[in-house]
Amino acid sequence: MSKHSALNTFGRSGNPAFTKNFNNINSDSIPLAERMTLDGAVNRTAILLALCFGGAFLGWNIPALIWPGFLIGLILALVTIFRSPDKAGSTAPFYAAFEGMALGGITVFAEAAYPGIAIQAIGLTFGILASLLFCYKSGIIKPTENFRLMIFSATMGIMLLYIVSFIMSFFGSGIGFIHSNGLLGIGFSLFVVGIAALNLVLDFDFIEEGAEQGLPKYMEWYGAFSLMVTLVWLYLEILRLLMKLRSR
């Protein structure tokens, strides 16, 4: 892949954290010591995961933090994506911690209704992460241009559907199968979990390509942040799917 096409792939990810255009980055002008590395991105991902688990522990014990955690996390995500990707080293850790609070609070309510669901959701999330990382590194799944376009289109379609459903809820309506525990609702959730999972492959590819092309050092944090965005989405969708299955 050429340098131009590698950088251009950042504009075609299904992950909203990669929708910003990075084509104006000239890696040739960046000193070697200030370039992104794969190890650096992995280390920063580990830091964000630790912060997310710490926030989740707090949210589990103080469920009232769900909405503050979610709203502040959302604001930090939007600022990171659309305003200050170069400041991801400052915003991403707070994003991970606040989103962890929201996830912890949501999970404690789910666990109260369906005992054992928390460990199932966590295990499935990290099991999928490990499986797809293996498939990506072994070449079983290759993120071709058509693959990227398919995942991008499906992800944007899902997001649009959720937005429409959210707006309809203000008028006492909604899109029933999104929340239904019937076969259609379960099938929809399975599809969404699949698309969220495949976004991980795109995240792996973009992080690896960014390191190979020598993007700026702050992209280590931004790459880790993007992976966290996908993992948070995947976990929530798995939790939703398991709740539908357990309620039948």
Query: pLDDT tens digit string along 119-173?
Result: 999 999 999 999 999 999 999 999 999 999 999 999 999 999 999 999 998 988 8
- Does residue 3 fall inside a structural domain? no
Residue 107 CA neighbour count, 13 Å, CB half:
26
- Does residue 189 fall inside a structural domain? yes
- Does residue 184 fall inside a structural domain? yes
Q: Mean pLDDT over residues 217-224, rounded?
A: 95
Q: What is the pLDDT of residue 27?
A: 61
- Does residue 15 fall inside a structural domain? no
- Residue-wise pLDDT for 38-77, tens only, equals 999 999 999 999 999 999 999 999 999 999 999 999 999 9
- Does residue 205 fall inside a structural domain? yes
The Cα 103–Cα 74 span in angstroms is 13
- Does residue 5 fall inside a structural domain? no
Q: Mean pLDDT over residues 186-212, rounded?
A: 95
Q: Mean pLDDT over residues 179-183, rounded?
A: 92
Q: Mean pLDDT over residues 20-36, rounded?
A: 66
Q: Mean pLDDT over residues 78-86, rounded?
A: 90
Mean pLDDT of the chain: 90
- Does residue 195 fall inside a structural domain? yes
34 or 8, greater pLDDT: 34
Query: Predicted confidence band at 17 (pLDDT cuts at 50, 70, 90)?
Result: low
Q: What is the pLDDT of residue 176?
A: 84
Q: What is the pLDDT of residue 87?
A: 93
pTM: 0.90
- Does residue 4 fall inside a structural domain? no
Selection from 19, 79, 139, 17 nearest residue 9 by Cα: 19
Q: What is the pLDDT of residue 84?
A: 84
- What is the percent of the chain where pLDDT is above 90? 77
In 3-state terms the chain splits into helix, strand, coil percentages (rounded to 5) of: 80, 0, 20
Is the pLDDT confidence value at 16 over 70?
no
The Cα 217–Cα 116 span in angstroms is 41
The Cα 12–Cα 146 span in angstroms is 11
Number of domains within the chain: 1
Query: Predicted confidence band at 6 (pLDDT cuts at 50, 70, 90)?
Result: very low
Structural domain harbouring 218:
34-246
Q: What is the pLDDT of residue 25?
A: 59
The Cα 116–Cα 239 span in angstroms is 11
